[in-house]
Chains A and B, each alone.
Chain A
Amino acid sequence: MGSRSPGVSFKLVLLGDGRVGKTSLVLRYVNNIFSDKQEATVQASYLTKRLVVEGVPITLSIWDTAGQEKFHALGPIYYRDADAALLVYDITDSDTFVRVTKWVKELKQMASKDIVMAIAANKSDLVRLKNIETQEAVSYAESIGASLFVTSAKAGTGIDDVFSDIAKRLLEKRKNSADGLSPPQPKKGILIVDDEPEKEPPPKCCS
């Protein structure tokens, strides 16, 4: 993608209904800022974030897309060759979860077969901790081989976790394919854990 930075570069796309907090998640992650009244995204914004996972420098190219249906028609240019998708819904609005399941269906048809997926149940600051009901979402995430994270862009919780989980799984996948080992194994759903033991990073990981 023209980036001359060392290490590996991955393309990540954020998808989800309007006003679930996609832009807020990205802005919190990339610039550590939050605004209560984030303006609506028209089409898609592009941001980059550098991070180091297991000693490997990684550049995430992030496409933060618009939620509205009208922009759906142009959606494929953002997710077609994406390495990963972060699907976002609003934990206080079950309709937005239904939209996530629709996006997953579309990705399965249109995107690359082994696209890494994660789901962010955002706006957790709006519900009392004991009321967070993610059982259905967790089992759904497991069924599609995605991990689910409870996040709050406002409080700044869960965000680093979800992005670094994506980065780790992307790196893992790249390792496997670079080593020419067995095809990627089906992934298990994970709920905010990041203590999976990792192998040493291989020397050749760039593609």
Chain B
Amino acid sequence: MYTTNLFYYIYSVQLLLGYLPTDRGLWPYELEKKRSQYSAYKEEFLLNPSEKLRRIEESKLSRKKELNIERIGLLPRLEVTNEEHPLSSGKSSLWNQYFQESEILEQIDRDVKRTHPDISFFSAKSNQESLRRILIIFSKLNPSIRYVQGMNEVLAPLFYVFKNDPDPSSSASAEADTYFCFVELLSGFKDNYCKHLDNSSVGIRSTLSKLSQLLKRHDEELWRHMEVTTKVYPQYYAFRWITLLLTMEFSFNVCIHIWDAILGDPEGPPDTLMRICCAMLILVRKRLLAGDFTANIQLLQHYPATNIDHLLHIANRLRGTVAS
């Protein structure tokens, strides 16, 4: 599952993700910049309110000291404004925000702990902490999405690859690098995660019906069998394929290979993912045509191991046909 060619992919993936400029000479500078930006995010989003307030007070105090340097002898009193009291219900209270977000934090915590429990790498506390921090920072910087269950699954292969980079300096910055690649990877798919877009022309429902149309266009017999005869709609199996970018359907290195193809395609990530999903159906069409509702749902929810090059080849042949 974890072959060395993963490390080959990481560099092509980094490039394609737009994380690094094409000019290799600029890499050290760019990496340095991004990594310090990530440190700033951690400072800003991961401190709890009491720590934040303490720091605010500290800076106030030091400013006061500078201003009132002559009034030696008076001890300044720590000022906690009403707004910032933990029991205050004021909307802008740091504590209020903190409590509102605690549900999300709890959800992230739970899911991180059950990410690939079968792989010891993910049981390591320090690795779990990294995943947790990345997801929290993402949720704070993307308030319309926040955290959607399964994002931990998308994150896992990226972090695994970065953390296992043979170069120790890269491995040490794995968390920051993973964060920015994660952001790049999801950027073309954000609308699928937005609950308030679910019923719009760009939300997950419309993405699912695009898949249905694509299948109909290329393999009407299969489409008819799926949606008319056995009533196996894309909602039942492709929701996970699409929202999790096929993470749950394939092994890590296959995923990275597929994401590479998705991100590098001139037709753009969303359409490329659509074509790959359609190709997955076409690839197992014989079994689907012979199956009933139960057999087909189970086949598509546990997609069989497959030759990935062949899959991408079929997806390629569907080029230029995804309805916009």
Contacts and interface: CB of A to CB of B under 8 A. Distances in A.
Given A39-B114, A77-B235, A71 B293 contact: no
Interface string B66-93: 0000000000000000000000000000
Interface in A68-88: 68-71, 73-74, 77
A129 interface: no
A68 B149 contact: yes
B293 A2 contact: yes
B301 A45 contact: yes
A46 B298 contact: yes
A108 B95 CA distance: 37
Contacts of B243: 42-43
Interface in A1-40: 1-4, 18-19, 35-40
Interface in B224-278: 230-231, 233, 235-236, 239-240, 243-244, 248
Contact of B235 (A3, A48, A74): A74
Contacts of B244: 42
Contacts of B297: 46
A43 B148 contact: no
Interface residues of A, number: 28
A96 interface: no
A19 B110 CA distance: 8
Contacts of B153: 39, 42
B179 interface: no
A18 B294 contact: no
B84 to A, nearest CB: 27
Contacts of B301: 45-46
Nearest to B247: A42
A1 B293 CA distance: 7
A44 B110 CA distance: 18
Given A3-B292, A40-B150, A70-B195, A18 B110 contact: yes
A68 B146 CA distance: 13
Interface string B196-215: 00110000100000000000
Given A68-B107, A70-B195, A74-B239, A46 B294 contact: yes
A74 B107 CA distance: 20
A40 B292 contact: no
A84 B235 CA distance: 21
A18 B294 CA distance: 25
Contacts of B204: 74
Contacts of B107: 18, 68
A1 B149 contact: no
B149 A66 contact: yes
A152 interface: no
Contacts of A68: 107, 148-149
A61 interface: yes
B111 interface: yes
B294 A1 contact: yes
A43 B111 contact: no
Given A48-B294, A70-B195, A73-B195, A42 B248 contact: yes
Contacts of B115: 39
Contacts of A18: 107, 110, 149
B143 interface: no
B189 interface: no
Question: Which residue of B149, B153, B233, B240 has the most chain A CB atoms within 10 A of its CB atom?
Answer: B149
Contacts of A2: 230-231, 292-294
B113 interface: yes
A56 B200 CA distance: 46
A42 B243 CA distance: 9
B320 interface: no
B195 to A, nearest CB: 6
A38 B198 CA distance: 27
B191 to A, nearest CB: 13
Given A2-B292, A45-B301, A37 B240 contact: no
Interface of A: 1-4, 18-19, 35-40, 42-46, 48, 61, 66-71, 73-74, 77
Given A39-B153, A42-B248, 19 more contacts: A2-B292, A3-B292, A3-B294, A35-B117, A36-B117, A40-B111, A40-B114, A42-B150, A42-B153, A42-B244, A43-B239, A43-B243, A44-B236, A46-B297, A61-B294, A70-B148, A70-B149, A70-B195, A74-B204
Interface of B: 107, 110-111, 113-117, 148-150, 152-153, 193, 195, 198-199, 204, 230-231, 233, 235-236, 239-240, 243-244, 248, 292-294, 297-298, 301
10 contacts: A2-B292, A3-B292, A4-B292, A36-B117, A39-B153, A40-B110, A46-B236, A46-B297, A67-B149, A73-B199
